[in-house]
Amino acid sequence: MSTPGSSTSPGDSAVTPASTPPVRPTVPGANLSALRDHNAAAVLTLVRVAGEGGISRVELARQSGLTAQAISKIVQRLVEDGLLAETGRGASTGGKPRTLLTLVPEARWAVGAQLGRDALTVLRADLTGRVVADRRVPIDLAGWGPARVLDLLAEEVGRLLADVPRERVLGVGVASPGPLDQLAGVLHQVTGAPSWDGLPLRDEVAGRLGLPALIEKDSTAGVLSGLGSPNRAFVHLDRGLGAGLVLGGAVQRGARTNAGEFGHQTLDPNGPRCRCGNTGCVEALWAAAPTPQAAAAVLGEAVANLVRLLDLDEVVLGGREVLAAPDVYPAEILRVLAARLPDPAWQPVTVSLAPSGPNAVALGAAGLVLSRLFG
Ligand SMILES: [Zn+2]
């Protein structure tokens, strides 16, 4: 089992494109324009994965399965759009050296926002998922209600984009506490914030900003904030507790896009009353714990259940409560895992803090927007 703070993530702030592998042109008779867009997205993804070293057209053709002619046309269009640049020459196995292509990070921007219960975080990320600007301001999600909070969101995003041409902004991803319907873009009964029930958050944000918008549950956004194991959870402990899940390399949202409501599992039916109305929920036991260590141990028990249920090998921790006690949570959770897993030596699980820290959830929301470009 690894030590706290270790991580298998290869990148600090890279937003995961891995759940959407390149699309190969294997569907006969598919709509040509759609096919072309899929293929362009696949090419962009391959160039992004290649990183600063770049990739040649020949290699793009080999990896994508597209013809050299198709690659040539797609690359030409992406260069004309400013998304790709020819940046150097690579070694050749014979004949002339190959021109290498790289992504132009600042060609487009994605905005990510996190609606927290008492803070609003907004950030701007480039095409590589690097955060170039961020802002965090206090709010009272339940007390202020939607109009005041969303007006402030629009104002803060406006500041982030003050010197950016709007046509270079891909859109805004907004992460919020759940439950919510990610596909419809509508919030449901957000615990403790009744004035937000039924709010069409996606359309409200898009209308205020004049930009495409997407919404996501905060914990699910968090799991998209960095690269990592194909079987991992992002455990988000703020004023509520949720888990974002990637299994088999794909993000899991469940039947109503509401998977990961982790905080209201019953750990002790005779336990303290929870604000959700049930008794002995993880959140209630966590809140009733007398010390930070005891609170972390409660979370550890819940994480151990999650790891055993889903056979995870990586748990990333985020949220204000965890970040406020970084020396306590990973160590305590690892201790409980070591006690609960039947064969810890055979079932190693890394437990680490999210590399992007307080920006993790908003960065994942920006990643949602980027994933639309990368296919
Ligand atoms: Zn509860």
**pLDDT (tens digit per residue) in 289-317:** 999 999 999 999 999 999 999 999 999 99
Q: Cα of 179 to ligand 1 centre, how many Å?
A: 13
- Residues with CB under 5 Å of ion ligand 1 are 264, 274, 276, 278, 281
Query: Residue 189 has what pLDDT?
Result: 83
Please state, in angstroms and rounded to a whole number, the distance separating the CA atoms of residues 265 and 299.
11
Please state, in angstroms and rounded to a whole number, the distance separating the CA atoms of residues 315 and 235.
7
Cis, peptide link before residue 179, omega less than 30° from 0: yes
Q: Cα of 275 to ligand 1 centre, how many Å?
A: 6
- DSSP state for residue 51 in the 8-state scheme: G
Q: Cα of 278 to ligand 1 centre, how many Å?
A: 5
Please state, in angstroms and rounded to a whole number, the distance separating the CA atoms of residues 132 and 126.
7
Residues ≥6 apart with Cβ < 8 Å to 57: 68, 71, 72, 75, 98, 99, 101
Query: Residue 32 has what pLDDT?
Result: 40
For 278-337, give the DSSP string: -BSBHHHHHHH-SSHHHHHHHHHHHHHHHHHHHT-SEEEEESHHHHHSTTTHHHHHHHHH
The residue assigned the tokens 């999600």 is 141
Query: Residue 6 has what pLDDT?
Result: 35
CB count within 10 Å of CB 212 equals 15
pLDDT < 70: residue spans in the chain: 1-36, 90-97, 375
Please state, in angstroms and rounded to a whole number, the distance separating the CA atoms of residues 126 and 327.
31
Query: Residue 94 has what pLDDT?
Result: 60
Contact, 267 vs 280, CB < 8 A? yes
Domains in the chain, start-ordered, CATH in brackets?
32-106 (1.10.10.10), 109-222+360-374 (3.30.420.40), 229-355 (3.30.420.40)
Q: Cα of 265 to ligand 1 centre, how many Å?
A: 7
Query: Residue 29 has what pLDDT?
Result: 30
Q: Give per-residue pLDDT as tens, 332-343.
A: 999 999 999 988
Please state, in angstroms and rounded to a whole number, the distance separating the CA atoms of residues 222 and 358.
10
CA quadruple 105, 177, 117, 232: dihedral sign:
negative
Please state, in angstroms and rounded to a whole number, the distance separating the CA atoms of residues 352 and 315.
7
Q: Give per-residue pLDDT as tens, 236-290.
A: 998 889 999 999 999 999 999 989 888 999 999 999 999 889 999 999 999 999 9
